[in-house]
C-alpha cells in the first residue's frame, strides 16, 4: 500500500474577515481540496491581535503566537499565509523571516508587494521557495495566475483595470441613481464596502498598489510606486456622471499601465471617461475587472468579486493548493513576477506631463458673450483641438455649466491651459478635467 502524503501545514497570520474565511474554507472543503491538490492542506498555527476574541472558529488544534513573525520559527510549519496587511511592520517581518528560513509564502498584501516585492521575490528565489499573491489583486478574480502562466507567451501592450470595489460601487451608484458622492460613501460604509477611514480606497492608493503589481507581471519590471500618478474620486461630481452619460461615457476609477519604447511605464490611477460599451464599464457594484491587451491573444477580460472574505480566501487557498501540488510532484512554482527577480528591469513611471490623452473638461462660467471664444483661444494657443461643446439652456449673466471634450493633447499642455482658463473672470469655479480612455 503506498505511503500517504503528509498534509501541507499552514501558519496563518491574521484571523479577521479574510483569515477567518481562509480557515473555514480549508475546513469546509477539506476533502475536495485534498483530492485536487494531492495532499491535505490544514492550518496548524495562527496569530492575531486578540486571542480571546470570539471568532466562531475551532482553534484548539492550532499553535497560537502573539507575534505574527514568530510563526516563521515554528518547526511544524510548511507554508506561511499572511493576511495582516500593511507595507511594513509585522507583515513584512513575518514574510521576510519565513522566506529566509526557506518557507513558501502566500500573501494578499498588495502594499507590501508594491513596496518591497522585488526584494522579497529575490529572497524567495535564493531559498528556492515560491512567493504567491493571487489575492493581492482583484481578490477572487484569477488575473495574476493567468498573466503569469497562461499568457506567458504573449507580449502585453496594455493592462487596465477597475481595481477597487469601493470606488466602483460609488461610481456605479452615482451613475444609476444620480446620488451625491458623500451619500453613497456613507451607504458603502454601512454595507462594509468602505472602511471608516476610506482614504486608502477613494484616494486611489489601493488601486495604485494593484496596477504596480500588474505592470510588473505584464512588462517584466520591478514593482514600484515611485513616480506613479495617483488621483482618487473625491472630486468627481454628480454633474460629471450626468454629462459623461450624455456623451456616451461612464466614469470609472481605473489603473492603467503601458510601456513605451524607451522602457518607461506610462499610466497611473485616476478617474476616466470610458465608453459605455467598453468591457471595463460593465463591472457591477463592488466587482473588479482586469483587461489585458496582448499579442497574439488580443483582449482578455477577467471580472468578478474584488473584495470580501470568501473571494479573497478562494484566491489564497488556490495558491496554497498550487504549492501542495508542486511539492507533491517535486515541481517548482513560477517566479513571483513571471521572470527571475534578477531579470526584472527598472522601469520608472513617466512624468504625467509627457502623457498625451483626450480630455473632458467641465467649466462653471458666466453666461455672457465671448466666453467660449476666450476659452477656445487659450486651448488653441496650447495646440489643443476641441472635439465637442455641451451646454444646457441659458442664464444670461448667471452661472452655467460648459462641457468641452478634446482630441489627443499632452497633459502638460492641458494643465497649462487650465491654469490660464481658471483665472478668467468669467470662470466661476476650478475647472474639472478628466481623461477620456481611447483606443481600448
75-133 pLDDT per residue, tens: 999 999 999 999 999 999 999 999 999 999 999 999 999 999 999 999 999 999 999 99
At 1, is the pLDDT very low, low, confident or very high (cuts 50, 70, 90)? very low
Identify the pLDDT of residue 2: 47
Is the backbone peptide bond immediately before 78 cis, with ω within 30 degrees of 0? no
CATH 3.40.50.10800 fits 153-305, yes or no: no
In CATH, the architecture of 8-140+309-343 is 3-Layer(aba) Sandwich (3.40)
Q: Tell me: the pLDDT tens digits for 274-294?
A: 999 999 998 888 899 999 999
CATH 3.30.70.260 fits 352-436, yes or no: yes
Q: Tell me: the pLDDT tens digits for 302-344?
A: 999 888 889 999 999 999 999 999 987 777 888 999 999 999 9
What pTM was computed for the model? 0.93
Nearest residue to 314 (alpha-carbon basis) of 322, 64, 116: 322
Which long-range contacts link 367-374 to residues 24+ away (Cβ below 8 Å)?
367/394, 367/395, 367/396, 367/397, 367/398, 367/399, 367/400, 368/396, 368/397, 368/426, 371/402, 371/424, 371/426, 372/402, 374/424, 374/426
All cell numbers assigned to 265 = 511605464
How does DSSP classify residue 204?
A: S
The verdict on whether 210 is a catalytic residue reads yes
Identify the pLDDT of residue 202: 94
Judge whether residue 383 has pLDDT over 60: yes
Q: What percent of the chain is modeled with pLDDT above 70?
A: 98
Please give the Cα distance from 32 to 88 (Å, whole number). 35
Judge whether residue 428 has pLDDT over 60: yes
Mean pLDDT (the chain) is: 92
Judge whether residue 264 has pLDDT over 90: no
Task: Provide the residue ranges of all domains of the chain, joining segments of one domain with +.
Answer: 8-140+309-343, 153-305, 352-436
At 4, is the pLDDT very low, low, confident or very high (cuts 50, 70, 90)? low
Q: Which of 3, 110, 145, 210 is catalytic?
A: 210
Amino acid at each position: 500500500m503506498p505511503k500517504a502524503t503528509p498534509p501541507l501545514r499552514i501558519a496563518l497570520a491574521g484571523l479577521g474577515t479574510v483569515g477567518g474565511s481562509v480557515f473555514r474554507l480549508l475546513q469546509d472543503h477539506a476533502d475536495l481540496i485534498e483530492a485536487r491538490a494531492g495532499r491535505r492542506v490544514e492550518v496548524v498555527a495562527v496569530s492575531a491581535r486578540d486571542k480571546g476574541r470570539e471568532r466562531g472558529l475551532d482553534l484548539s488544534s492550532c499553535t497560537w503566537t502573539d507575534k505574527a513573525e514568530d510563526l516563521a520559527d515554528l518547526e511544524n510549519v510548511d507554508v506561511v499565509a499572511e493576511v495582516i496587511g500593511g507595507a511594513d511592520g509585522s507583515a513584512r517581518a513575518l514574510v521576510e523571516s519565513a522566506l529566509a528560513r526557506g518557507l513558501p509564502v502566500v500573501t494578499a498584501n498588495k502594499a507590501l508587494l508594491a513596496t518591497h516585492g522585488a526584494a522579497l521575490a529575490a529572497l524567495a528565489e535564493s531559498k528556492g521557495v515560491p512567493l504567491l499573491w493571487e489575492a493581492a489583486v482583484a481578490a477572487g478574480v484569477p488575473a495574476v495566475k493567468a498573466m503569469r502562466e497562461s499568457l506567458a507567451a504573449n507580449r502585453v501592450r496594455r493592462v487596465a483595470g477597475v481595481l477597487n470595489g469601493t470606488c466602483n460601487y460609488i461610481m456605479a451608484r452615482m451613475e444609476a441613481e444620480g446620488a451625491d458622492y458623500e451619500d453613497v460613501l456613507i451607504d458603502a460604509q454601512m454595507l462594509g464596502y468602505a472602511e471608516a477611514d476610506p482614504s486608502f480606497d477613494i484616494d486611489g492608493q489601493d488601486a495604485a498598489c494593484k496596477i504596480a503589481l500588474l505592470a510588473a507581471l505584464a512588462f517584466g519590471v520591478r514593482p514600484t510606486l515611485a513616480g506613479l500618478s495617483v488621483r482618487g474620486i473625491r472630486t468627481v461630481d454628480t454633474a460629471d456622471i450626468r454629462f459623461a452619460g450624455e456623451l456616451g461615457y461612464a466614469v470609472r476609477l481605473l489603473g492603467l499601465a503601458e510601456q513605451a519604447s524607451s522602457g518607461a511605464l506610462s499610466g497611473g490611477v485616476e478617474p476616466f471617461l470610458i465608453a459605455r460599451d467598453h468591457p471595463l464599464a460593465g463591472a457591477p457594484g463592488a466587482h473588479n475587472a482586469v483587461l489585458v491587451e496582448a499579442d497574439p491573444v488580443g483582449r482578455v477580460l477577467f471580472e468578478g468579486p474584488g473584495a470580501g472574505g470568501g473571494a479573497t480566501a478562494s484566491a489564497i487557498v488556490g495558491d496554497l493548493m498550487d504549492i501542495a501540488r508542486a511539492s507533491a510532484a517535486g515541481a517548482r512554482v513560477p517566479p513571483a513576477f513571471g521572470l527571475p527577480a534578477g531579470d526584472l528591469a527598472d522601469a520608472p513611471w513617466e512624468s504625467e506631463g509627457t502623457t498625451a490623452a483626450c480630455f473632458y473638461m467641465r467649466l462653471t462660467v458666466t453666461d455672457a458673450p465671448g466666453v467660449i471664444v476666450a476659452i477656445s483661444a487659450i486651448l488653441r494657443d496650447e495646440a489643443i483641438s476641441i472635439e465637442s461643446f455641451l451646454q444646457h439652456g441659458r442664464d444670461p449673466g448667471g452661472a452655467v455649466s460648459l462641457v468641452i471634450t478634446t482630441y489627443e493633447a499632452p497633459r502638460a499642455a492641458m494643465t497649462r491651459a487650465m491654469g490660464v482658463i481658471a483665472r478668467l473672470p468669467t470662470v466661476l469655479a476650478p475647472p474639472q478635467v478628466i481623461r477620456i480612455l481611447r483606443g481600448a
